[in-house]
Structure formats: C-alpha cells, structure tokens
Structure 1
Amino acid sequence: MANYSYFKFRKRFDFNPHPYELGNFMVFNKKIESNFFFNKLFEIQENEHIPFFIFHQQFFLLKHPGEEKQFLTYVLEVVQDRINYYKRQDVYKDAERTLFNLSVLKSFQSALDEINIWNLNKSLEVLLANKEIEIASYKQEIELLKEKLKTAAIYNADTKIRLIEGKLPVLVDLIQQIQKLTLPDGRKLTKSQSQSAWYKMIAKYFQNGEKDISLETIRNYFPANKETTLIKGSEVAESDKLFTININPLNSTSQKSVL
C-alpha cells in the first residue's frame, strides 16, 4: 500500500489541466502528494468537496479496482492527521490561515462521513450518538403506531354479531344484494373499489354460531372479478336466498328499502 499513488497529478507542461488535478506545470513531488492534495482542497469551494474526492477516487480505482474502502481509509487518515497537525500549531502565528484550514478540513471530513458506509475511523462516541438517533427515531415510530392502534381500537366492537349456525350464506346473499341496489335517481347505493371491504367486514363483526368466520372461507364468496366462476361450495344456494331487498320506486321522497 505504501507505493500506491492515490491522487491524480497534472502532466508536466500541461497548461490546460483538469481543475482538480494536482501540482503545477513543472513541479509535482509525489512523495508529498498529500500536501498537493490539501493545497487544492483549500482552493476549491465547499460544494466541490465530494466531486473532488470522487475525481481522485476514480483515478485510483483505474489501477486498483474494487479498492474503494482502501482509498477512503487513506483519505480519512491523512485528513485526520492534518487536522491534528493544525490543532498543534500556535494559533497566534497565523491564526486566520490556521482556523480557515481547520474549517475546510472539518467540512471535508463531514462530507466524507456521508459516503463512509464502512464507518471507517469513526470514534465510538460518534457511532453511539448515531445509534441513539436511530433508537430515538424507532421510538417515535413506535409511539405513532401506538396512537394509530389506540384510534383503531375505538372502532372495534366488544362482541360479534352471532348468526344462526349454518346461515352464513343467508347473510352473504343479503350483502350481495346490497351491492346491487340502485337508487331511483340511478346512482348505486354503495360503492367499493374492491370486494375485500365486504368480506373483511363479515369476518370481523359476525360469527357463524359460536365460531369465528374464516377470512379464507368468506373471501370465496366475493371474488375480485365478478365474472370469475366461484369455487365449488361458494355459490349461495337457492334455499339460502330467504330475503329480497327492494326499493319502492313509487315513493321518491321516503325511498324506503323493504324486505
């Protein structure tokens, strides 16, 4: 790893280099490549930090494919070393420049944290802080779910409506009739985008005798496509069609439904 060249330098006597290439048209000592790297970093704008990093990363990966982690590790290390260097300086000798460089380095370091998927060089305190943020977010989601459950519980019935055992198809027939009812003005009395609301309502609020109604069983009576042939045993027998729901078309003011 020590012999790696991590950053892209401009070619000698190239007077039109890429703005992120390092060195000048004559001098570029690669033994101190990190110095040139930081000199360029201090020249560019903050919104260029990630493009600058990616430019040199792509150069490195051309020679070392798949070594994204190695490149990021190296950059993070030299950045931290340079931060430590400036922290040791006598700030009064060149306070303005020292503080500026520290600000740029910390900004660059923060930008790299966004792409640091391996949590490289992150202190235990930072990792714990991030974990606490995640936990707080989960707790907030749990509280929201609790509130939703509490609201939903308001609409739950304490007991179910008990049908005479074996007469579930009678109720199914009535529900199917309700779906077809049309008001005197031509509008349908009920509308639903799917059949699930009907069969789930029956399973949730009714019992067949003392037994709960299986969702799988009741679903067979309400296929999504009404042209679909029903599963054998899911067609309401004529003997269970005991009631007929009608609308009196002669009384437009009361519009009473009668059995």
Structure 2
Amino acid sequence: MDSKKRYADQVAVITGAADGIGKAIAQRMAAEGANLALWDLKEAQLKTLEAEWQAKGITVTTSVVNISEEEEVEKAFQETMDIYGRVDILVNSAGIVGPTQTKITNYPTEAFDEIYRVNLRGAFLTSKYALKWMEPSGTGRILLIASIAGKEGNPNMVGYSATKAGVIGLVKGLGKEYATTGITINGLAPAVIRTPMNADTAPAQLEYMASKIPMQRLGTVEEAASIACWICSAEASFTTGFIYDLSGGRATY
C-alpha cells in the first residue's frame, strides 16, 4: 500500500488540532490524502492554520469546539457530516495538564473537575458521537491520546494521572464493545513530548518526567504523528482496545 495515499477520500476529525500532537497528526494525515475537520478552542490559531493549509490545496475545515460540552460535540459532528458526508477517523488529542507539583491535599477540587471534563468527559463524548456516525458504515478508526501518566501515575499530578487512566479504561472497554463492527478503538500513551501543552509545566515536574525516559530525551510531535497515522490506517486492522507505547522505553507493556 502506498502510504502517501492510504487516507485518500477519508475524513478525519482531529481535536486539539491547533498545535502540538494534534496539529502534527493532522499535517501527516493531510499529506497522505485525508480531508480534515480540525477542532480546538484556539480560534485564531485554527483560522491561521485553515488559511495556510487551504492555500496549499489541503481540504480542511475548522471549528471552535469545547469537547466537554455535549451539545457542541454533537453539533460539530453533524456539521462535519453535512460538509463531507462521512467520518472515518477520530483522533482525540485535546487535553489539559492542570496543576503540577501539587499534593492532593492542596489540589483544588475545581481544577480536578476541569481536567476531568476535558480529558475524560471529552474523550467519552467525542467517541460517543463519532461511533454514532461510524457504526452504520461498518468501518472506522478512533484514537484517543492517553499518557504514560495514566499507566504509571505521576506524583503531584493527580488530576492528569487519574483522567488519563480513565481514557485508557475507555479505550479498553470500547475496543471490546465494538470489536466485531469493523471499527477499531485504540489509545496512545506518550511520555513527555515537546509541545506547547507542557511549556508551562513546572521545571522540576518536567525534569522528573524526563528523567524516567530510558532514551534520555523528549519525544517529538513527528514521532507521535507517525505512529498515530499507522494506528488509524487500514493497515492496523487486527488491533483494538490497545494502548500503544510512545515513551522512549519507559513503559513496554
């Protein structure tokens, strides 16, 4: 199979697409022929991206979507269907880190609630409505971006660790639930990837996370895009409910 054409005529919905891992995945999928529906809350960045990519001949639409709000998610999927007539791929890359270097006894409950709404509720909602459109077609790919923190737990980041563990549970449950439908649901568990998302992470916390990586370096968004684009392709047909490692050797299970 020609990898540059493996997404020809397919439609990919990508959340958190204005920058970081989501943007890199979108760029790689577009290069391989995908039509894109990019969602984020960063309207200015989305509009700049849309104009730049359309000028390059990429078929792309953008929408400001809060994935923690059910009505917004449902509406955005309906609009995508109205424009493209299909949804083949969902990559849910939107997420927030929340407080770091913070013991649970000092962790604001409202901050935990916010992280849950974006990281876990958002993954639930985007999966729920993607599946409603994918199931009648008998095919589809869903990739939820989890984290090594969800596998191993990062101290002093209880909100992030707990919600990403929830994403892993969602992947495993949905993978089995839809195993006979032609739709695969998988997850990706990165260690620290150099993105704008962790630009504000406390240096001590970032140093702790990076020190756990046997390769002794941070991952890149290009590396994330490479494995994500394989997971979401027709080539990855016999794996579902699995969490792929992207941790430089930190987790190999």
TM-score by length of 1: 0.28
Larger radius of gyration: 1
Structure showing greater relative contact order (alpha-carbon pairs closer than 8 Å, 6 or more residues apart): 2
TM-score by length of 2: 0.29
More strand by share: 2
